[in-house]
Structure 1
């Protein structure tokens, strides 16, 4: 199931590669912006969280090198310029089916637990994003537990 969702996420059209990546057009940028938002939610940009964000974007969207750097810059810029989460969550809700939206919440938890800690602001942010993209509380909590267990094994 995880592989099917990753395949779906990778197959989302990004338009021309040379085009400027914009969150309102590109769900990859919207996802990157939300991952940056959760990374910075506790006020500490931990190296382990940043590494996980890079790995997550690279694996999920099958990008590396300059293309990954471009996606990271576009996502970070979009996050810094955003006034709310809706600009990003509406894009994901339009482009992802229910299973892929749940998987995205799992990716967010992966970034949260990369540093081995759960801050209440991170928890609140994931809860708000889950609500906005239509992932129910039960699934959000199950995903949190799964990722927390996985991070304690690493």
Structure 2
């Protein structure tokens, strides 16, 4: 874990700022959690990738090429990391409460991108909810909004 954190801070600088070619620590943390959610069912499919691309583009106002690179970086980071506490810590420290609830909605949207929420994805949602100080009720409401948006039956 310490190696992963060192890589993270080496990549983005100790203060979270990088040059123009790098992403800030918050964007990387969000992208890594979204990629983690998409990969937990054993497959990182096209529907999940498109959902993540749209979410990151909208949330961070990134170009298509920037989003693709951010996802690639997040995927590489996720492969090297054994936990996701460091990413939730960045989000908890940098996002206000409403933005953390918005993140839960993003995670639910990725989880349901293929039409099915797998047990591992649901488990991730429960763990992240606690780590970013969002209540179960708020996460449940975010889940319902996503299901309604996607036209999925509850």
TM range (shorter): 0.7 to 0.9
What SS does structure 2 have at the residue aligned with 1:114? Answer: coil
Distance in structure 2 (CA, Å) of the matches to 1:127 and 1:40: 16
Displacement of 1:14 in angstroms is 5.2
TM-score, normalised to structure 1, is 0.83
**Counterparts of residues 112-151 of structure 1 (less than 5 Å):** 112-151=111-150
The count of aligned residue pairs is 137
Displacement of 1:85 in angstroms is 1.2
Unaligned runs of 5+ in 1: 1-12
The structure with higher relative contact order (CA 8 Å, sep 6+) is 1
Displacement of 1:46 in angstroms is 2.1
Unaligned runs of 5+ in 2: 1-15
Distance in structure 2 (CA, Å) of the matches to 1:146 and 1:34: 20
Could you tell me whether the CA contact under 8 Å between 2:92 and 2:100 is conserved in 1?
yes
TM-score, normalised to structure 2, is 0.83
Runs of at least 4 residues off by over 4 Å: none
How large is the RMSD of aligned CA atoms in angstroms? 1.6
Q: Which residue of 1 aligns with 2:19?
A: 16
Could you tell me whether the CA contact under 8 Å between 2:105 and 2:143 is conserved in 1?
yes
